[in-house]
Amino acid sequence: MFWCAFVVFFLALGNELHLSHATEVSVNNTENKLCLYANLMVNFSVTYEVGVNKSETVLFVLPENVTTEGSICNNTTSTLKLGFGDGHSWAVEFTKDNKTYQVDSIVFTYNLKDSSVFTNSTSNETKSVTAKPRITNVGVDTYYSCKSENVQRVESVTQTLYDVTLQAFVTNGSKSDTDTVCTADLTSTTVAPTTTVTTTAAPTSTPTPTLPTPTTGNYSIAPDFNSTACLMATFGLRIGFKQGDKVETINLVPSATEVGGACGVNSSILILTSDTINIMFTFSNDSKKFHLHALNVTVKPATGVAVVAANTNMSIWVAAVGSSYMCNKEQTLTVTETLTLYTFKLRVQPFGVEKGEFATAVECFMDSDLSFLVPIAVGVALCFLIILVLISYLIGRRKSRTGYQSV
Q: What is the pLDDT of residues 90-108, one digit of tens each?
A: 999 999 998 999 999 999 9
Bigger pLDDT: 10 or 180? 180
Average of pLDDT values for 99-119?
93
Q: Give the whole-angstrom CA distance, residue 83 versus residue 34.
A: 19
Amino acid 353: pLDDT: 93
Q: Give the whole-angstrom CA distance, residue 232 versus residue 219.
A: 6
DSSP string computed for 187-232: HHTPPPP------SSPP-PPPPPPPPPPPPEEEEE-SSTTS--SEE
Local confidence band at 59 (pLDDT 50, 70, 90 cut-offs): confident
Report phi then psi at 136, rounded to 5.
Answer: -135, 170
Q: Give the whole-angstrom CA distance, residue 342 versus residue 239.
A: 6
Share of the chain above pLDDT 90, in %: 47
- Within 10 angstroms of residue 115's Cβ, the number of other Cβ atoms is 11
Q: Is the pLDDT of residue 282 over 60?
A: yes
Looking at 226-273, which runs of residues are DSSP E strands?
231-243, 246-251, 258-262, 267-273
CB burial class (10 A; 0-12, 13-18, 19+) of residue 245? exposed
Domain limits of the chain? 23-187, 217-369
Which class is 217-369 in CATH? Answer: mainly beta
Least confident of 48-57, 154-163, 365-374: 365-374
| Helix and strand element counts for the chain (H, E) | 2, 26
Local confidence band at 373 (pLDDT 50, 70, 90 cut-offs): low
Least confident of 215-219, 285-289, 326-330: 285-289
Average of pLDDT values for 54-60?
80
CATH architecture of 23-187: Beta Barrel (2.40)
Least confident of 25-39, 178-192, 205-219, 225-239: 178-192
Q: Give the whole-angstrom CA distance, residue 376 versus residue 372.
A: 7
Looking at 29-125, which runs of residues are DSSP E strands?
34-51, 54-61, 72-73, 77-84, 88-96, 100-111
CB 316 within 8 A of CB 291: yes
CB 285 within 8 A of CB 266: yes
Q: Is the pLDDT of residue 268 over 70?
A: yes
Q: Give the whole-angstrom CA distance, residue 296 versus residue 12.
A: 8
Of 150-159, 286-295, 303-312, 377-386, which has the strongest mean pLDDT? 286-295
Bigger pLDDT: 15 or 256? 256
Instruction: Render pLDDT for 162-217 as a digit per residue (tens, 0 to 9).
Output: 789 999 999 889 999 999 998 877 754 333 333 333 333 333 444 445 789 999 99
How far is C-alpha 332 from the geometric centre of its chain's CA atoms? 17
Average of pLDDT values for 366-377?
60
Local confidence band at 241 (pLDDT 50, 70, 90 cut-offs): very high
Tell me which residue of 114, 18, 132, 2 sits closest to 58, measured CA to CA.
Answer: 114
pTM over 0.85: no
Least confident of 64-73, 251-260, 368-377: 368-377
Q: Furthest-apart CA pair in the chain: how many Å? A: 111
Amino acid 33: pLDDT: 93
